[in-house]
Amino acid sequence: MKTQSLFNLKSSFCFLLFMALSLSASAQMTDQVLKTDYHIDPEKKGDLSFELDATLFFKNNEFDGKFIKGYSLPGMWIQPKFVYNPLSYLKLEVGGQALIYRGAYRYPNYAYNDISLWKGSQYQKGAHIVPFVRAQVELGNLDIVLGNIYGGQNHALIEPLYNSELNLTADPEAGMQLLYNRPRFNMDLWLNWESFIFDKDTHQEAFTLGLTTKTLLNSKEARWHFYMPIQLVGQHRGGENLVDNDRPVSTLINGAIGVGATRQYGRPWFKALHFEADMLGYYQQSGDLWPHDKGYGGYLRSTVELRDDFLINAGYFVCKDFISLFGSPYFGAVSMTEEDLTFEKPQTLSLTAEYYRTFAKHYGLGAKVEVYYVMPGHLKYADGQREKGAHSTNFTVGVYLRVNPSFLIKKFGKY
């Protein structure tokens, strides 16, 4: 039975790969406005500046079916900070970040998925505010970041492993990060410490460890260039100092390995085609937070880059018992609307149109429409009942404006 399931999964994946190649479509370049350039500008040595980084957004999720309920996100996050470059290879930042939803008056301390299982019920009033502190040193091709790291879209995780909506809603990631960049290889290794515990605390500590690499197999300037991405994300929830806490230690892991290709055209209205195929894995190393201990899936995606600022993406996802730590529920086998409901070999077709425009170095506008056609397969309930799931069409519409002006306060002389 397992052999037959694996055969069906591989057959579906290969069929979609063939279709994508036939249609000449491709993948990987989404939410450009939400990325942050992490490179230190040596010309800013001695600069003390005040910087304001903010994103205003409105996102409407029209969801139906058994995977997840619909909701809207009208709001903004704003990050004021002081930035000092004492050396050409060292940058220090200190400030804070506030998340505000229109019409909301109190906010949970954290905004990650299922945080209530391990963070408790602490709330803030008026806005959700956290400190922001970052120290970064550049040592040749290696950047070391301590404090608040370059997270979210900067990790370049594929959609089944990371829901880009978290760029709008999640706290700034904090911990440690190593960024390594060479002409044909780049790596992002990070530790995001999400929940710290003191002695006698009753919530669990939690941290996420992640790794993404991308290896170019030939020159990026070639008309056809090929690459291989590897991605790993693991989250641990536990702690040695817990009291009166019956939540077990849990370790969850997602991984993906793939191959991709880009065909450069360079025309004004037809820039490039991108292709990528990924195999995914899920493993619950300890704990019983999720109903499955392991699973796998396949993801095929393609992007047509029509202009410098307009992309069309198409994707196909199929899995067996796969669960994503930070991805959308549409890329997994577990319901977020009904307890103890799982799906047998669900499939998701996605189509995305994205417009992004950078007006100047510090200002950008983005708009994105996403459509998901979900085929859940058979529904499985905890009591053993099974029934055929209904197909559903779901979509999201989002608009966001990012502003990131910088004001020079003083330029200090040489040391």
Summarize pLDDT for 179-218 with one digit per residue, the tens. Answer: 999 999 999 999 999 888 787 777 778 899 999 999 999 9
Is residue 298 scored above 90 in pLDDT? yes
Is residue 228 scored above 90 in pLDDT? yes
pTM of the model: 0.87
Nearest in space to 264 (alpha carbons), one of 254, 274, 255, 256: 274
User: How is domain 2-411 classified at the CATH fold level?
Assistant: Porin (2.40.160)
Average pLDDT, the chain: 86
Q: Are 346 and 318 in contact (CB under 8 A)?
A: yes
Q: Are 260 and 27 in contact (CB under 8 A)?
A: yes
> What is the pLDDT, as a whole number, of residue 51?
96
> What is the pLDDT, as a whole number, of residue 200?
72
Is residue 173 scored above 50 in pLDDT? yes
> What is the pLDDT, as a whole number, of residue 94?
98
pLDDT in tens, 129-170: 999 999 999 999 999 999 999 999 999 999 999 999 999 988
pLDDT in tens, 251-284: 999 999 999 999 998 888 888 999 999 999 999 9
The residue ranges of every structural domain in the chain are: 2-411
pLDDT, mean of residues 360-382? 90
pLDDT in tens, 229-255: 999 999 988 776 665 556 677 899 999
> What is the pLDDT, as a whole number, of residue 40?
94
Give the separation between CA 335 and CA 297, rounded to whole angstroms.
17
> What is the pLDDT, as a whole number, of residue 196?
82
Is residue 26 scored above 90 in pLDDT? no
Instruction: Calculate ∠ Cα 146-147-148, nearest 5°.
Output: 115
One-letter amino acid at 262 equals T
Is residue 50 scored above 70 in pLDDT? yes
Lowest mean pLDDT among 57-66, 109-118, 207-216: 109-118
Q: Are 296 and 280 in contact (CB under 8 A)?
A: yes
| Residue 289: exposure state from Cβ atoms within 10 A (0-12, 13-18, ≥19) | middle
Instruction: Calculate ∠ Cα 375-57-179, nearest 5°.
Output: 80
Instruction: Calculate ∠ Cα 359-364-370, nearest 5°.
Output: 130
3-state percent helix, strand, coil for the chain, nearest multiple of 5: 10, 55, 35
Is residue 17 scored above 50 in pLDDT? no
DSSP state, 190?
E
pLDDT in tens, 385-394: 889 989 999 9
pLDDT-based confidence at residue 86 (cuts at 50, 70, 90): very high
Residue 103 backbone zone (phi > 0: left; psi -120 to 50: alpha; other: beta): left
> What is the pLDDT, as a whole number, of residue 238?
79
Other C-beta atoms closer than 10 Å to the C-beta of 266 total 8
Is residue 293 scored above 50 in pLDDT? yes
Is residue 31 scored above 50 in pLDDT? yes
> What is the pLDDT, as a whole number, of residue 245?
53
pLDDT in tens, 312-337: 999 999 999 999 999 999 999 999 88
The CA distances from residue 239 to 204, 288, 293, 325, in Å, are 6, 16, 21, 19
